[in-house]
Structure 1
Amino acid sequence: MPTRVFNRIRQSVVFRIGALMLATALVAVSSMVASYVISDAAENDAAAVNQSGSVRMLAYKLAASAINTNPDTARLAADELTSRLNKIGGISDLNGNDRQAGAEQFARVRAQWETQIRPYMLAIASGEQVSDHEAVIAVAEHFVDEVDALVLAFQHSAEATVGLLRLMQLGSLFATVTLVYLSLFTLSRSVEQPLKQLTDCCANIARGNFQYNLELKSDDELGLLADTISGMSKVIEETHRDLAKRVKIKTTELQHSHRILNFQFRLASAISEGEISHSGLQQWLEEFSEVTGLDNLDLCLMTPEGDTPYSHLTHGDDNAACGTVDCQSCARGCDIEMPDEANVYRFPLESGARNYGVLVCSQPPGQKLPWQQVQHLSAFANALTTASTLRERGEQERRAALLDERSIIARELHDSLAQSLSYLKIQVARLNRCNKSEDTSREDISEIIEELKRGLQNSYRQLRELLTTFRLQIADGGLRGALLKAIEHYREQHPEIGIELEYNLAEVPLTPQEEIHLLQLVREASQNAVYHSHGDHIKIRLNMDFYGEIHVHVEDNGIGIGESPEKRDHFGMSIMRERAHSLAGSIEICQRAEGGTAVQFHFTPDYARERKLHWHA
């Protein structure tokens, strides 16, 4: 049992403090109980001393009654004295077996009273015995001396009780002070100092210092808490270190991903802007190898009909991909993104049925590419495929545009200069016949020469107009700026003609093809009005209605169009109809009621057509 209690005191600071508080309370209670018992025991000492004093007075009274031979008074005094002695015995709880000095003196006083003093005094008072005055007084004084000795014994007993009470109070005070000191010492040693260390440790942990040395070794609750916090701080430190490593790794991965995304963004921007050429692919291949860390890259570009690449770009010193298979099987037979037996990854550059080549990545034997690297290679291959597709499509569009432009040039040369030259050829043939004929007059020859001059002037004018048309382009000012420039050109050549422009298509997103055809249409119509209407005012209007259809009106106040407008000098009308047909629109050339000619063209632009289809869907 003591061992168990000791273990509890050693292992529990709460039990230790509780035991000290219990001991302090027990000392206080014991002190109060002892004080109560001792004070209760000394309660009758004063009464006993008082009764003893009255016994002395009664002894003198009895002696006076005996001297005066007054038996009744003496008997009453003797009975009173006996009663007082009995009270003293009852108050002091004294008996004959008590070995204390007060008990012995009380027994001596009572025995002397019962055996000597009482009979003697009563005998003197009754006259049965004769004695002188001095003898009676001597006997009484002797008895009073014994009573004084009893009072002194009672005094000594009371003093002893007070001394015991004082000693008890001092002892309890010392014990209480000692227990309070032990309690404060225990609180300081077992609670305050450990709590301070724990608080400092928690503060350091809160500041991120998980290596705080907690020097607290005990078997109680605070020791267990200190061990737990120390273990927890070590775990947190290890976790923090592990998280820091992970953050560093993730940061490196994010930076790597950022570089790759930046590379892909710049590559996509270059593809969208059409800046990737065959000569620039080597630089993009080297940069891709740098950002991804992949070496030994091969990029083979092939034509649809070729069996070997027309361009073979490599990066890396240990490339062995081309030594395993021939070019045709490498470019045509790879449809998966997995390595072959030689640990070579192949990514075809395919778009539909078109194969532009292959991107090859060689790896050492037994070393597989991570999934992310395979994805990067696949994305790079797709970007190269897109670049090749856009480049090929752009080349086809430029080829088609070149052929279309050549067709337009040929058509306009045929409709203008070819007809003029044919007319001149006819006139030259007439002139030759007249020159050979002897009947030809000089007036006929002069007429032919005049027609040749007019034909040459007309051909020269048509040539200048064709050159102006072929050099025509839409600059930064857009369609409105090009129209204003053409109108300014007409005003410079024909200042007598007023040309008015009403342009309300600033908010319409026209395609470049639509802008070119509109410019040519308006220019052709206004050119016909300038050279053939013989009017002095031309009005050009371009508007769009609520349904998104564009209306173009070119009106003049001239002589109007004839019944056969498709004659030689009006070859531009057929060109205008062809341009209207290219825009899927309709054109009408008619006589105005108030005089002059009106060219009216209507068509729906691509954006409005797509919007209508979307609405219908």
Structure 2
Amino acid sequence: MLNRIRQSIVYRIGILMLLTVLVALSSMVASYVISDAAENDAAAVNLAGSLRAMSYRLSATAPSGDIAATRALENEVTERLQRVLSISDFSASDNLRAAHNYRKVMDSWEEEIRPLLESITSGRSSMDSLQLATRLEPFIYDVDTLVFDYQTIAEEKISLLRLVQLGSLFAIVVLVYLSLYILHRSVEQPLKQLTNRSLSIAQGNFKQNRLEIDSDDELGVLARTINYMSDEIHATHRDLAHRVELKTAQLQKSHKALDFQYRLARRISEGPLTGAELGQWLGEFANVADISNLDLCLMTPEGELPYEHLVQGLGNALCHSSECRTCVSTCGPSDEEQQRVYRFPLEVDKRNYGVLTCTLPRGESLNDEQQQRLATFADSVTAAIAINEREAQERRVALLDERAIIARELHDSLAQSLSYLKIQVTRLNRTNRSEQVDKTKVKEIITELKEGLDSSYRQLRELLTTFRLQIGPGGLRNILEQSILAYREQHPQITILLDYQLDEVPLSPHEEIHLLQLVREASQNAVYHSQGDMVQIGMTQTDNHSVSVHIRDNGIGISSSPEKRNHFGMSIMQERASNLNGKLHICRREEGGTEVQFSFVPQYARERELVWRDAV
């Protein structure tokens, strides 16, 4: 019961309300009982008081000799005495003072007063009114005493009723005060603290203003729960804030690392890295990755010793005593004497270009993120070296291709002309060694020699012009227009027209070079050998994305059996057409002249067609 009261505000307030109701009900019941008991007290007082008046009337009636009136008064007194007993809340045999005085009055009446009155009325005794009144004085005194007793009883009941009501009022006031006190202390103050604490929590304050409610009731349990919840949330927020700080720091480091990798990748794409630049990048990487004691050894794939050894920090103290090939071939962490060494070989396509080494004291190690950053930096350096080597190889290949082109051009032009001149010189020698020199034949040979020399010189100038050509920002169209402008200046009698419709076609540099050389070769043949006055050059793209090129002239037309020097350079153009995987067709025009037709599919169209096929 006590535990229940201590642990529950509702039960506690309910008990107080029940006690208040019980006190009020008890007061009402007691008041009802007391008022019910005092209902006949006034009648008893009146009846007892009327006995005195009747006693005085008897003292006047009995001596007069009026027997009927006297007997009527006697019966009335007897009846009233009995009625007094009937309305009293005690019996005649009780030990109460009022019951004793009633018996005394009743005995005095039955044993003394009534027999005396009967004796007087019957004439046996003679007594006047004064004497009878004197004789009735004790009886009247006893009646007064009885009246006083009834009055006292009534007053006692009223006092008791007043006391009950005052006690009930006091008890109710006390219970109401206790209820208000308990509500104030156990409900109002805790609720106020809970409300203020809830507002603080709503504002994000989970640590300050802890609830100091030390009770076992519902509000105490709620306060402890809120305190525990606030502590947990505060701890969670603190942990989350710490995690956010750590994650922010990690993100900042990652951002710096990504920015470093981006700048390094952009620098690698711009051109080859020198040793001094690699040293600067190595130092910046050490700061970004928070790693010291780095060694970057660069080697040729065929070499045994590094041609470049870059050190950041103290480096590897045992580097001088280790074999470079062993260091390069070792990957991952290893313990060597009093230090721990991490090695990341610079290797791509089974070609090794060196090693990146990180040295730590014995017992320390790199975390996964640092190892990943070291591996990424090593890959970037490897990519830079590989790109440099690939570009150098491409330059070598391009140089060899260019030399092969020059050799082919020289062979197809100057070499053939020189061979022709050599034949003419041989003819001239034979003619001179004969006994009879044919001056006409010698003159003819000299003329052919002069023409051959002029043709060779012209071809040499054209070759020099061709070798000096560069496709600038204007692309293929610009260089074609420049070439046509040069032809017009050299041969103003020939009209050269260009219809270029490939502005929307993304040609590769390889395709532009071969297409330019093919158009120039066909145009030269038309200008120098067609004997016409108009050359039309057209370049368009067909519906199947292939590029179509035609060079037309209005000259004498191609011969069915080309001459020995191959003026139209058919073999050269055929070779260029095969380099572009295209089809070349040279024919005589019905309206006169020659037409060179060439068509091929550009690389971008072939790649898109492959993508579409894979998708299907």
What CA distance in whole angstroms lies between the structure 1 residues aligned with 2:591 and 2:134? 184
Alpha carbons 1:504, 1:542 under 8 Å: kept: yes
Aligned match of 2:359 in 344, 359, 362? 362
Alpha carbons 2:197, 2:211 under 8 Å: kept: no
For the structure 1 residues 278 and 522, does the alpha-carbon distance in structure 2 shift closer, same or farther, using more than 3 Å as the test?
A: farther
Query: Share of identical aligned residues, percent?
Result: 56
Residues 450-474 of structure 1 deviation map (CA, whole Å, 9 limit, x = unaligned): 6566545544443343233223233
For the structure 1 residues 442 and 565, does the alpha-carbon distance in structure 2 shift closer, same or farther, using more than 3 Å as the test?
A: closer
Structure 1 position 17, deviation (Å)? 3.9
What CA distance in whole angstroms lies between the structure 1 residues aligned with 2:462 and 2:80? 167
Could you tell me which residue of structure 2 aligns to residue 577 of structure 1?
574
Structure 1 position 254, deviation (Å)? 2.3
2:407 pairs with 1:410: yes
2:37 pairs with 1:41: yes
My pick for the range that moved more, 12-21 or 597-606, is 12-21
What CA distance in whole angstroms lies between the structure 1 residues aligned with 2:348 and 2:540? 42
For the structure 1 residues 101 and 441, does the alpha-carbon distance in structure 2 shift closer, same or farther, using more than 3 Å as the test?
A: same
TM-score by length of structure 1 reads 0.85
What CA distance in whole angstroms lies between the structure 1 residues aligned with 2:121 and 2:321? 162
TM-score by length of structure 2 reads 0.85
Name the amino acid aligned to 1:39: S
Q: CA RMSD in A?
A: 3.7
Could you tell me which residue of structure 2 aligns to residue 193 of structure 1?
189
For the structure 1 residues 532 and 141, does the alpha-carbon distance in structure 2 shift closer, same or farther, using more than 3 Å as the test?
A: farther
Aligned match of 1:300 in 297, 302, 308? 297
My pick for the range that moved more, 228-237 or 276-285, is 228-237
Structure 1 position 188, deviation (Å)? 1.8
Please give the secondary structure, in 1, of the residue aligned with 2:314.
Answer: coil
Could you tell me which residue of structure 2 aligns to residue 540 of structure 1?
538
What CA distance in whole angstroms lies between the structure 2 residues aligned with 1:216 and 1:579? 96
Name the amino acid aligned to 2:333: M
2:332 pairs with 1:337: yes
Residues 59-78 of structure 1 deviation map (CA, whole Å, 9 limit, x = unaligned): 67766764665545544543
Could you tell me which residue of structure 2 aligns to residue 27 of structure 1?
23
Could you tell me which residue of structure 1 aligns to residue 154 of structure 2?
158
Alpha carbons 1:337, 1:374 under 8 Å: kept: no
For the structure 1 residues 324 and 97, does the alpha-carbon distance in structure 2 shift closer, same or farther, using more than 3 Å as the test?
A: farther
Alpha carbons 2:477, 2:500 under 8 Å: kept: no
What CA distance in whole angstroms lies between the structure 2 residues aligned with 1:511 and 1:70? 167
User: What are the residue-to-residue correspondences of 1:595-614 with 2, within 5 Å?
Assistant: 595-614=592-611
Aligned match of 1:528 in 525, 543, 549? 525
Please give the secondary structure, in 1, of the residue aligned with 2:361.
Answer: coil
What CA distance in whole angstroms lies between the structure 2 residues aligned with 1:272 and 1:318? 29
Aligned match of 1:288 in 275, 281, 285? 285
Name the amino acid aligned to 1:169: Q
Alpha carbons 1:505, 1:542 under 8 Å: kept: no
Residues 1-20 of structure 1 deviation map (CA, whole Å, 9 limit, x = unaligned): xxx84x76666655554443
What CA distance in whole angstroms lies between the structure 1 residues aligned with 2:406 and 2:184? 109
My pick for the range that moved more, 319-328 or 230-239, is 230-239
Could you tell me which residue of structure 1 aligns to residue 554 of structure 2?
557
Could you tell me which residue of structure 2 aligns to residue 588 of structure 1?
585
My pick for the range that moved more, 245-254 or 52-61, is 52-61
User: What are the residue-to-residue correspondences of 1:160-239 with 2, within 5 Å?
Assistant: 160-214=156-210, 216=212, 218-221=214-217, 222-223=219-220, 225-227=222-224, 229-239=226-236
Structure 1 position 499, deviation (Å)? 0.7
Alpha carbons 1:535, 1:557 under 8 Å: kept: yes
For the structure 1 residues 420 and 79, does the alpha-carbon distance in structure 2 shift closer, same or farther, using more than 3 Å as the test?
A: same
Name the amino acid aligned to 2:596: V
Aligned match of 1:465 in 462, 465, 482? 462
Structure 1 position 581, deviation (Å)? 0.9
What CA distance in whole angstroms lies between the structure 1 residues aligned with 2:613 and 2:211? 82
Structure 1 position 259, deviation (Å)? 1.8
User: What are the residue-to-residue correspondences of 1:72-83 with 2, within 5 Å?
Assistant: 72=68, 74-83=70-79
What CA distance in whole angstroms lies between the structure 2 residues aligned with 1:320 and 1:183? 86
User: What are the residue-to-residue correspondences of 1:104-115 with 2, within 5 Å?
Assistant: 104-115=100-111
What CA distance in whole angstroms lies between the structure 2 residues aligned with 1:62 and 1:556? 182
For the structure 1 residues 436 and 187, does the alpha-carbon distance in structure 2 shift closer, same or farther, using more than 3 Å as the test?
A: same
What CA distance in whole angstroms lies between the structure 1 residues aligned with 2:211 and 2:597? 101
Aligned match of 1:94 in 86, 90, 96? 90
Please give the secondary structure, in 2, of the residue aligned with 1:590.
Answer: strand
Name the amino acid aligned to 1:518: L
Structure 1 position 436, deviation (Å)? 10
Residues 202-226 of structure 1 deviation map (CA, whole Å, 9 limit, x = unaligned): 4434444444254736343345554
What CA distance in whole angstroms lies between the structure 2 residues aligned with 1:616 and 1:199? 72
My pick for the range that moved more, 168-177 or 128-137, is 128-137
Name the amino acid aligned to 2:391: G
Name the amino acid aligned to 1:341: E
Alpha carbons 1:302, 1:311 under 8 Å: kept: yes
Alpha carbons 2:59, 2:129 under 8 Å: kept: no
What CA distance in whole angstroms lies between the structure 2 residues aligned with 1:127 and 1:220? 93
Structure 1 position 299, deviation (Å)? 1.9
For the structure 1 residues 415 and 138, does the alpha-carbon distance in structure 2 shift closer, same or farther, using more than 3 Å as the test?
A: same
What CA distance in whole angstroms lies between the structure 2 residues aligned with 1:139 and 1:294? 139
Residues 521-566 of structure 1 deviation map (CA, whole Å, 9 limit, x = unaligned): 22332333344331425140321332x4332222333332222346
What CA distance in whole angstroms lies between the structure 1 residues aligned with 2:363 and 2:41? 113
Name the amino acid aligned to 1:367: E
Alpha carbons 2:536, 2:553 under 8 Å: kept: yes
What CA distance in whole angstroms lies between the structure 2 residues aligned with 1:395 and 1:550? 32
What CA distance in whole angstroms lies between the structure 1 residues aligned with 2:272 and 2:315? 30
User: What are the residue-to-residue correspondences of 1:252-331 with 2, within 5 Å?
Assistant: 252-331=249-328
For the structure 1 residues 66 and 313, does the alpha-carbon distance in structure 2 shift closer, same or farther, using more than 3 Å as the test?
A: same
What CA distance in whole angstroms lies between the structure 2 residues aligned with 1:62 and 1:593? 184
Q: What is the count of residue pairs matched by the alignment?
A: 609
My pick for the range that moved more, 305-314 or 76-85, is 76-85
Residues 102-128 of structure 1 deviation map (CA, whole Å, 9 limit, x = unaligned): 444433433333233333444445555
What CA distance in whole angstroms lies between the structure 1 residues aligned with 2:446 and 2:56? 200
2:498 pairs with 1:503: no
What CA distance in whole angstroms lies between the structure 2 residues aligned with 1:155 and 1:490? 159
What CA distance in whole angstroms lies between the structure 2 residues aligned with 1:244 and 1:292? 24
Please give the secondary structure, in 1, of the residue aligned with 2:555.
Answer: coil
Alpha carbons 2:526, 2:535 under 8 Å: kept: no
Structure 1 position 417, deviation (Å)? 3.2
Q: Runs of 5+ in structure 1 lacking a partner?
A: none
For the structure 1 residues 120 and 429, does the alpha-carbon distance in structure 2 shift closer, same or farther, using more than 3 Å as the test?
A: same
Name the amino acid aligned to 1:501: D
For the structure 1 residues 417 and 155, does the alpha-carbon distance in structure 2 shift closer, same or farther, using more than 3 Å as the test?
A: same
Aligned match of 1:513 in 510, 515, 528? 510
Structure 1 position 266, deviation (Å)? 2.7
What CA distance in whole angstroms lies between the structure 2 residues aligned with 1:460 and 1:76? 190
Name the amino acid aligned to 1:311: E
Could you tell me which residue of structure 2 aligns to residue 476 of structure 1?
473
Please give the secondary structure, in 2, of the residue aligned with 1:366.
Answer: coil
User: What are the residue-to-residue correspondences of 1:410-489 with 2, within 5 Å?
Assistant: 410-423=407-420, 454-489=451-486
What CA distance in whole angstroms lies between the structure 1 residues aligned with 2:324 and 2:227? 67
Please give the secondary structure, in 2, of the residue aligned with 1:568.
Answer: coil
Structure 1 position 410, deviation (Å)? 1.9
For the structure 1 residues 120 and 581, does the alpha-carbon distance in structure 2 shift closer, same or farther, using more than 3 Å as the test?
A: same
What CA distance in whole angstroms lies between the structure 1 residues aligned with 2:555 and 2:80? 170
Could you tell me which residue of structure 2 aligns to residue 396 of structure 1?
393
Name the amino acid aligned to 1:540: G
